[in-house]
Structure 1
């Protein structure tokens, strides 16, 4: 599920990068009317037998992974990952390359099913992958590392793709909404440009706008959860700062966006290697190493942790338990 909302959501949408594995997902997704670049799914594919999580102090838990395992052939990626994402949180997932950070994002979003373990969405156990059945509940948005814009479509068509395809809104209404959403991420007057005419940082912001847009004609607009996979990868320090500040600004507990309006994202999770993103965009950290969470704490504890794995990662030292 991508994007929070209590009941009514647009049909599933999917945004992905250009890797071969993601292309196969996109091909399947289009057949099922999922749309490339950000996922918006609902919770009807949650198992009734899973039931609700009964702990009262977990009433604010939006997504929970319990002892999740995932392998690809003989390669064991996740080896028992457990954590919770609560309402209002800004969480970062860090760790060495190849340790399963992107994999856990795809499992949370419903693109991959765990081999073992369980994923709960608002206390209900998810059964299987994303389906194109009508679902309601939490909306989860997944923004992949690549902006994954459609090269043949202009910015307006890219951002409004889901609404053009599946909503009953008029083209004029969608166009107006696209313009407002682009302005919210600091982009104005770019609606008619093609992706090839945009800088890397602008493409990232267009992708973010596409993950934020929603059908305003729905009676109930759910709050959203966004999952970001390396949102500042490949950007220079200034462009990274712009994106990091935008991630904060659309968070409902953060600052106002560029239009002076409060953010709409209830919680988000960021996979990153960038120290600037760790410091500017998240409050709590999960350290994933060799398929397990080996440390978690607040961002301000990151550089002072006595955990040798965290110390090595924070300092970039060649000496330590992490080997390349």
Structure 2
């Protein structure tokens, strides 16, 4: 492969006395769909927040297209690659309409007219399969619809500043709490967005759901005790003899992974 689009080198992160990442090395390449899996509390979501620039590393370095990032995302105005994040709980503003949620940053930080922003919002809603709901509020939507609205917000960009658009999307448990049918809709949407021109060609996804792992990822890394313990293609999940992966995918309580309390 070529130079990684995003690279974490020797990254450590602790919260109090809990060290969740321990000199972690990780590479994400342009055009790939990376799945990050592992037991709860092992730092999977923390990796996404570090990549997004929402949290600082304690030790180590993060590179975006070969350029070392210094500080948080608000301190770094010249990241060579736009990065968007879809949070587990959708994180919509309850007091704003769908249109206002999706267009929030453009309303606040662009010179675009309200009409132009509405047009852009409607286009993004069509991309995620929710045309015509811009006037609704989050409380009027199902869980799956709220997730799709959060996708639309993550891919929203300013046509006058195309470099600010998200080339990389980070999904944190996008199918958590959804029924199997709603999960399938989200999984299909994740793949569809990757194939759409001018949206995002690269993503990393944190998930526990087996269907989401198999349907949205090409390469898998297994995280445990702050390090990548296994990595391989989705097709290798069923054939690997690695004890961590075998125990995790089977749900067996007996094995090297320690079961909490």
Class of the TM-score when normalised by the shorter of the 2 chains: over 0.9
1:250 and 1:263 in contact (8 A); partners too: no
Structure 1 length normalisation: TM-score? 0.77
Runs of 4+ off more than 6 Å: none
Q: 1:263 to 1:238 in 2, by over 3 A?
A: farther
Matching residue of 1:3: none
**288, 298, 301: which is aligned to 2:233?**
298
- Cα distance in structure 1, aligned partners of 2:117 and 2:247: 48
Contact in 1 for aligned 2:95/2:137 (Cα 8 Å): yes
Stretch deviating more after TM superposition (124-133 or 223-232): 124-133
Pair 1:135–1:155, CA change in 2 (3 A): same
List alignment gaps of at least 5 residues for structure 1. 1-56, 257-261
> 1:311 corresponds to which residue?
246
Deviation readout 1:262-287 (Å, 9 max, x if unpaired): 46212000000010111111100010
CA distance in 1, matches of 2:87, 2:188: 18
SS at match of 1:146: coil
Q: Kindly indicate whether the alpha-carbon contact (under 8 Å) linking 1:62 and 1:84 is maintained by their aligned counterparts in 2.
A: yes
CA RMSD of aligned residues (A): 1.5
Deviates most, 183-192 or 215-224: 215-224
Q: CA deviation at 1:115?
A: 1.0
User: Which of 133, 142, 145 lines up with 1:199 in the alignment?
Assistant: 142
Corresponding position: 1:279 with 2:214:
yes
Is 2:47 aligned against 1:104? yes
SS in structure 2 of the partner of residue 97 of structure 1: coil
* Distance change >3 Å, CA 200–CA 100, structure 1 → 2: same
SS, match of residue 5 in structure 2? strand
Partner of 1:74: 17
CA distance in 1, matches of 2:254, 2:162: 56
Unaligned runs of 5+ in 2: none
Aligned length in residues: 259
SS at match of 1:250: helix
**Aligned counterparts, 1:129-144, within 5 A:** 129-131=72-74, 134-144=77-87
For 1:24, the equivalent position in structure 2 comes to: none
Do the aligned partners of residues 162 and 120 (structure 1) sit closer, same or farther apart at CA in structure 2, a change above 3 Å counting? same
The alpha carbon displacement at 1:220 in A equals: 5.1
